[in-house]
Structure 1
C-alpha cells in the first residue's frame, strides 16, 4: 500500500512551481497527524516551502533573478479566498500599487472579504482580511473596482492631476458595462471622476 508521504509527494510533483497548497488539500491522504508529519518532511527535503502555518508553496526558481521567487501577497490572498470560497478586494495603498498609482509596496496588505476576518504573517509581510458589506464586494470591473478603493484611500479632492489622468487612461481599458455598474455603486465624488471616461 502506498504511504501518505509518497501520495503527497506524487501530488506535489504534478503541480507547477509556485503553486500554493494547504494542509487541507491532503486530508484524504491520511490522518491529520500523518499529513502534518509528511508535509514537514517535504519542507525538509526542499520539495515545499512553508509560507505560514498550514500554507505551503512549491518552490519556483527564476533564472533571470538567479534566485527562488516567492508568491506575491495577492497570489497568497487569492489562494486563501479560493480555498475558503470567499470573495476579496484589495484596499487602500495596495489597490493604488496594483494600479501603478503608488510605487509603495505595503508590508501590510488589507483585503475586504465576505469570508472570515483574520491576519496571516508571511515573512515580513502581513495579509489582513477584514469583513465587509456585500455592496463593497459587488464591484465588478477588474480596473474600476480598484479605482474606487484607491480613490477612497487618496481622499476627496486630494488626487493629483497625474493620478486623475492615469485613472482615466486605465478606465478606458475597462469593460463599459462593468464600469457603468461600478459607477452606480461608487460614492458620488468618485462616480463623477469615473463618469468622465465614458
Structure 2
C-alpha cells in the first residue's frame, strides 16, 4: 500500500510549478498528523518549499535566480480563494496596486470578513484584518482599490496628478460596478469618482 507521503508527492507532481498548496488540500490521503509529517519530509528533501505554517509551494525555476517563490500577494490570493472570504487591499498596498506608489509594501493589510490573522512570507507580512461588511461591499476591482487608496492619501493631501491618474484608472472600470461603489464611498471620495463618469 502506498504511503501518505508517496500519494502527496504524486499529487504535487501533477501540479504546475509555482503552485501554492495547503496541508488541507491533501486531507483525503490521511490524518492531519500524517499529512503534516509527510509535507515536512518532502520539504526536508527539497521537493517542496514551506512558505508559512501549513502553506507550501513547488517553486518555479529560473536559470539566473534559481528557485522563484510566489509573492506575498499570490499567497494572500490563494488564502482568499481557499477560505472563500472577501478581502479588500488597504493602505500602501492599495496605492502600490494602482501604481500611485512605487513602494512595495513590506506589510500587506487586507480587510476581510474571514478570521483575522497575520502571516510572515519571506521578509513580508500579510495581515488579514477583520472589518465591517460595509467595507467589503465594493464590487469593482479598481474602484474598491481607489476608495481605500484615497482614504490612505487623505482629503487634504491628494494632489492634481494623483486625482487625474485615479480618474483615468476608473474609466476602465465596469460602469455598473463603478456606480455601485461610488455610493459606498465617503462624500469627498464620491466627488472624485463621479468625475470618471462625467468626463467619459
Unaligned 5+ segments in structure 2 are none
For 1:118-129, list aligned pairs within 5 A.
118-129=117-128
Q: Pairwise mapping of residues 136-155 of structure 1 onto structure 2 (< 5 A)?
A: 136-155=135-154
Q: Deviations 1:74-125 (Å, cap 9, x if unpaired)?
A: 2111111222221111101000000000011111110000000011111211
Indicate conservation of the 8 Å contact 2:49/2:58, yes or no.
Answer: yes
In the alignment, which residue of structure 2 is the partner of 1:165?
164
TM-score by length of structure 1 reads 0.95
The equivalent residue for 1:69 is 68
Please say if residues 91 and 152 of structure 2, whose CA atoms lie closer than 8 Å, have aligned partners that are also in contact.
yes
Q: Which runs of 4+ in 1 moved over 6 A?
A: none
The 8 Å contact of residues 85 and 114 in structure 2, kept in 1 or not, is answered as: yes
CA contact (8 A) 2:7 2:29 kept: yes
Deviates more, 1:155-164 or 1:105-114: 155-164
Does 2:32 match 1:32?
A: yes
| Count of paired positions | 197
Gap regions ≥5 residues in structure 1: none
Root mean square deviation, CA, Å: 1.1
Alpha-carbon contact 2:59-2:70 (below 8 Å) kept: no
Superposition deviation, residue 62 in structure 1: 3.1
